[in-house]
Structure 1
Amino acid sequence: MVAYDRIGATYCSTRRPDPRIASQVHAALTAMDTVVNVGAGTGSYEPAQTVVAVEPSMVMIAQRPAGSAPCVQALAEALPLRDRCVDAAMALLTVHHWSDVAAGIQQLRRVARRRVVVLTWDQSVIQNFWLLREYLPDAARINEELHVPIARLVELLGGAHVQSVPVPHDCTDGFGAAYWRRPHAYLDPTVRAGISMLAYAQPASLAAGLDRLAADLRSGQWQHRHSELLDQQELDAGYRLLVSDYG
């Protein structure tokens, strides 16, 4: 089963594009006249110049809004597109789901004439995120297993400029660390359903960790332990935008 056929049903309600992250992604694609979005999901962050999207999950494709670019059901590792058919290829928070990352990156480079843009995370940073470190060791293990090292991606891309993507305190896109200053959100099963590392976690381990989080929130222990976060406007949780130019 395609991963997001199982965990993607809530994306329209929990994974809405954040305008500040969108601005950074779109800035990386500003000079590109034609773009393909690979692992496109529901179409989050697609710039206006997107001419085609590629997504393996029909659950996700069905949630794409009216007026989106046409979407082809296919895998990143075997894009049904001609060589050098677009200026740029983008792949946002998707490479960790690919069965063959090297093949997928090669496909991005094959179809893009000028640029490849990839959004992913730096495991060395996100492993210290309070939710994983203090409450959810099973989810932390899953995140470790899923991640693709930044250095490997840069190598596969043939070099890339790596940008930090800070997470706003009121981020509207409910990915893994989006609720770093809103811990109660992680107690909501609808929120968790849209976060792969939580959706894949063992139910018993997840429930135990969330019970501890709920107790710490009730007692004020979480607020005391993480008081430095409460006034921060954004957090570097490890998300990285890789921009690779060639051709």
Structure 2
Amino acid sequence: MEPSAVMIAQRPAGSARALEASAESIPLADDSADAVMALLTVHHWSDLEAGMGELRRIARQRIVVLTFDPDINHRFWLLDEYLSEATAFDDTRAVAVDRLVSLLGGARVEAVPVPHDCTDGFLAAFWRRPEAYLDPRVRAGISLFAQTSDDVIQPGLTRLADDLSSGRWHRRHADLLDREALDVGYRLLVADV
């Protein structure tokens, strides 16, 4: 399920069929799915309580939510050093993990480190490949970029480009270059219903 026709159109050929609908009103019957997942989406919902209620309504056995802990995620170098103004916007939508656990009626919380060669295009997927953030095609699939004006984004991207060309980024983040994975705040919530 995806509420955005733009995001549906960006899905690779051969992807599973996507239903254009919102989490707040899922067009499925009660107890109709063994398990349901919400992947990096809850911060986009207009009514968090309604969306979580819908997940609980349709799930027979398990609910899995991949989200981010804003306190950790916003310390990610891209946000902290280059896009702090965009992070302020993101803060208005971010949802605390504890609140989600409560809305689920309890859940196990697991850290999800991001591998250095992650092929998905979410925000921190390119933590060890900073030049990717300069590519408009990469940014098009990341909601923070898509939903924040260029006036806010462009100065940070210009600084990033300058830091990459001067070698300053690589000197500042040399500790990242040999890491296989990084915890940038992504969390998996697993609730058995």
Q: TM (normalized to structure 1)?
A: 0.74
**RMSD of aligned alpha carbons:** 1.5
State the SS of the aligned residue for 1:217: helix
- 2:143 counterpart residue number: 196
Q: Given the alignment of the two structures, is residue 75 of structure 1 paired with residue 22 of structure 2, yes or no?
A: yes
Determine the C-alpha separation between the residues in 1 that align with 2:15 and 2:184. 33
- 2:45 counterpart residue number: 98
Determine the C-alpha separation between the residues in 2 that align with 1:145 and 1:67. 31
- Stretches of structure 1 that go unaligned for 5 or more consecutive residues are 1-53
State the SS of the aligned residue for 1:242: strand
Aligned amino acid, residue 107 of structure 1: E
- 2:57 counterpart residue number: 110
Matched residue pairs, number? 192
Offset at residue 208 of structure 1 (A): 1.1
Determine the C-alpha separation between the residues in 1 that align with 2:179 and 2:8. 36
- 1:15 counterpart residue number: none
Aligned amino acid, residue 68 of structure 1: A
**Which residue of 153, 177, 191 corresponds with 1:230?**
177
- 1:131 counterpart residue number: 78
Aligned amino acid, residue 210 of structure 1: L
- Stretches of structure 2 that go unaligned for 5 or more consecutive residues are none
Q: Residues 166 and 236 of structure 1 are in contact (CA less than 8 Å); yes or no, is this contact kept in structure 2?
A: yes
**Which residue of 163, 174, 184 corresponds with 2:110?**
163
Q: TM (normalized to structure 2)?
A: 0.93
Offset at residue 74 of structure 1 (A): 2.0
Offset from partner CA, 1:173-195 (integer Å, 9 cap, x none): 11111111111111111111111
Aligned amino acid, residue 34 of structure 2: D
- Against the structure 1 CA distance between its residues 147 and 233, is the aligned structure 2 distance closer, same or farther, given a 3 Å change threshold? same
**Which residue of 75, 81, 92 corresponds with 1:145?**
92
Bigger shift: residues 201-210 or 122-131: 201-210
Select the structure with the greater relative contact order (CA < 8 A; seq sep ≥ 6): 2
Determine the C-alpha separation between the residues in 2 that align with 1:156 and 1:59. 29
Percent identity reads: 57
State the SS of the aligned residue for 2:92: helix
Structure 1: 4+ residue segments shifted above 6 A: none
Offset at residue 148 of structure 1 (A): 1.1
Q: Residues 113 and 184 of structure 2 are in contact (CA less than 8 Å); yes or no, is this contact kept in structure 1?
A: yes
- 2:5 counterpart residue number: 58
Determine the C-alpha separation between the residues in 2 that align with 1:77 and 1:98. 7
- 1:40 counterpart residue number: none
